Structure 1
Amino acid sequence: MDITDKRIDDGKAFDWGKTSEEYAKYRDIYPDIFYKKIADRGLCIKGQKVLDLGTGTGVLPRNMYKYGAEWTGTDISPEQIEQAKKLAEKSGMNIDFKAVSAEKLDFPSESFDVITACQCFWYFDHAKVAPEFQRILKKDGKLVILYMAWLPFEDELAGKSEDLVRKFNPKWSGGGETRHPIWIPDVMYDYFELEEHEEYDVNVHFTKESWHGRMFACRGVGASLSPDELAKWDAEHRALLADAPDEFDVLHYAATAILKRKDL
């Protein structure tokens, strides 16, 4: 399913379904502290019903399943949801996955204690989703927005890999990250209040192959390049990694924003 949004990559089409297998294999990379910080706040734990938006291959619900919450995951891509179902079933996890966009949710009012959105919040039509998120959350429910990105101006390898993405996809707007709080559009504050936010550094461990796979599974490469462009990118990125150590850490920052539902 091609997605075009003028806010993202200057409207260049992308399709997560094109890279769902690589996404499943290479994008489950968040360190344990990423999940522990959520649970330590009393969120996504036993006794709570949680909706994970833009769930992709179910990375967040699968990794937080051990904390005991009852999870539902939604994503606009049927291919991503298919991978999520396979991975959850393989691990014996009972997670309800649905292929539906965030703008077309149809859950009953006050269905969830927590809504999570990891690496996906900027894709939404915020004017449409803000009242819907407020409606389907229970009283005092929380919206948890999560993000993690490499730091290209501080990590040399990340910077070089990012430059190569832009060589083949100049319209890609996913790079150039620096540390900052998660952006919350003004319309969200009509329905939620910001309770807290946190930003912190993490080192993420990779092998040459897993970093190559991680870059392939980004929006600017596997989700949007043509087969010919992908073959050329693949060769050049492997050449770039030739002199890298077999294993290495890449510096990232992680960010969390927690919004509390307003009782309108």
Structure 2
Amino acid sequence: MTDFQPDFGPTAEDYTRHRAGFPPELINRLKLYGIGLPGQAVLDLGTGTGSLARLLALGGATVTGIDPAAPLLEKAKELDRAAGVQIQYHVGMAESTGLPDQAFDVVSAGQCWHWFDAPRATAEVRRLLRPRGQLVIAHFDWLPLPGNVVSATEELITAFNPAWTMGGGTGLYPRWLTDLACAGFTGIETFSFDLDVPYTPAAWIGRIRASAGVGASLSPEMVAEFSQRLGKVLRDSYFGEVLRIPHRTWAVRAVKAD
């Protein structure tokens, strides 16, 4: 768990409008592992606005979501209604959910494992899973490549917020495999795939405002100044009506040992 602890509650509007959710292809691949099947009981940790939870529900699973940020859960409910799914939400922490023992076939964590206390979270997941239940940790990350708009954006985030040290990522998380192995999970497997996500310049600015290093940790005045500066960077160097932002989807699945 990192010492940098942003509050995503203030980002709820931008988070809902501008953060690209997990691609549907993720669920297609998870189903090959028997994850997200109709009728399965799934708990989605750190659910945010329900991006991963909603995909699992659309696939037929019975999904519960938990997150510490109540404003995000309210937005998740709005998105669920638009998608025609029903998900039960609780305000709470991944390390201590307050939910019953062995109540779930699958526990998922999308774009959030790095915020957790891993030993406590894995212990809680083991308590919540039924025998041979599965855990999936998934990420959907932008990719900073030399000279691309993501790299320039990350440089600007760091200039405004030196406490943010999450730039330069590859979208791969080998440390999570160690977390799972140390907690006694078996059958650990990973997969990944890349795709471009189209953003208008305004939408990209909104997406970045909804990130940990900007809207979730800077003052409103600094967020406004950051947005203006990023707009200038885009106009000067990355002009065009659509920005194609490279992303990587990565996931690990593991099985609760008997």
TM-score (norm. length: structure 2): 0.92
| Equivalent residue in structure 2 for 1:199, among 192, 197, 203 | 192
Kindly indicate whether the alpha-carbon contact (under 8 Å) linking 2:21 and 2:52 is maintained by their aligned counterparts in 1: no
Q: Equivalent residue for 1:256?
A: 251
| Equivalent residue in structure 2 for 1:60, among 45, 52, 65 | 52
Is there any run of 5+ residues in structure 1 with no aligned partner, and where? none
| Equivalent residue in structure 2 for 1:75, among 47, 63, 67 | 67
SS in 2 for 1:176: coil
Q: Equivalent residue for 1:91?
A: 83
Alignment of 1:1-264 (within 5 A): 7-9=2-4, 13-154=5-146, 156-184=148-176, 186=178, 188-189=180-181, 190-242=183-235, 243-263=238-258
Query: In the aligned structure 1, how far is the partner of 2:54 from the partner of 2:234?
Result: 30
2:117 aligned partner, one-letter code:
D
SS in 1 for 2:107: strand
Query: In the aligned structure 1, how far is the partner of 2:180 from the partner of 2:26?
Result: 24
Query: In the aligned structure 2, how far is the partner of 1:26 from the partner of 1:96?
Result: 23
Runs of 4+ aligned residues of structure 1 deviating over 4 Å after TM superposition are none
SS in 1 for 2:207: helix
1:18 CA drift (Å) = 0.9
Query: In the aligned structure 1, how far is the partner of 2:255 from the partner of 2:78?
Result: 33
2:91 aligned partner, one-letter code:
A
1:90 CA drift (Å) = 3.5
User: What do residues 159-217 of structure 1 show as CA deviations (whole Å, max 9, x unaligned)?
Assistant: 11111111100110221112534422645323312421112222122121221111111
Query: In the aligned structure 2, how far is the partner of 1:188 from the partner of 1:77?
Result: 26
Kindly indicate whether the alpha-carbon contact (under 8 Å) linking 1:73 and 1:95 is maintained by their aligned counterparts in 2: yes
TM-score (norm. length: structure 1): 0.90
Change (3 A) 1:177 1:186: closer
User: What do residues 127-181 of structure 1 show as CA deviations (whole Å, max 9, x unaligned)?
Assistant: 2222221111111100000012122124611111111111100110221112534
Kindly indicate whether the alpha-carbon contact (under 8 Å) linking 1:181 and 1:197 is maintained by their aligned counterparts in 2: no
Kindly indicate whether the alpha-carbon contact (under 8 Å) linking 2:186 and 2:255 is maintained by their aligned counterparts in 1: yes
Change (3 A) 1:8 1:151: farther
Query: In the aligned structure 2, how far is the partner of 1:116 from the partner of 1:222?
Result: 25
Between 1:242-251 and 1:211-220, the stretch displaced more is: 242-251
Query: In the aligned structure 1, how far is the partner of 2:34 from the partner of 2:187?
Result: 16
Change (3 A) 1:84 1:40: same
1:51 CA drift (Å) = 0.4
Identical columns (%): 33
Query: In the aligned structure 2, how far is the partner of 1:29 from the partner of 1:206?
Result: 13
1:64 CA drift (Å) = 3.0
Change (3 A) 1:182 1:83: farther
SS in 2 for 1:33: helix
Kindly indicate whether the alpha-carbon contact (under 8 Å) linking 1:169 and 1:225 is maintained by their aligned counterparts in 2: yes
1:74 aligned partner, one-letter code:
I
Between 1:252-261 and 1:49-58, the stretch displaced more is: 252-261
Count of equivalent residues = 255
1:108 CA drift (Å) = 1.7
SS in 1 for 2:54: helix
1:119 CA drift (Å) = 0.6
Change (3 A) 1:187 1:206: closer
Between 1:152-161 and 1:115-124, the stretch displaced more is: 152-161
Is there any run of 5+ residues in structure 2 with no aligned partner, and where? none
1:65 CA drift (Å) = 2.2
Query: In the aligned structure 1, how far is the partner of 2:213 from the partner of 2:40?
Result: 35
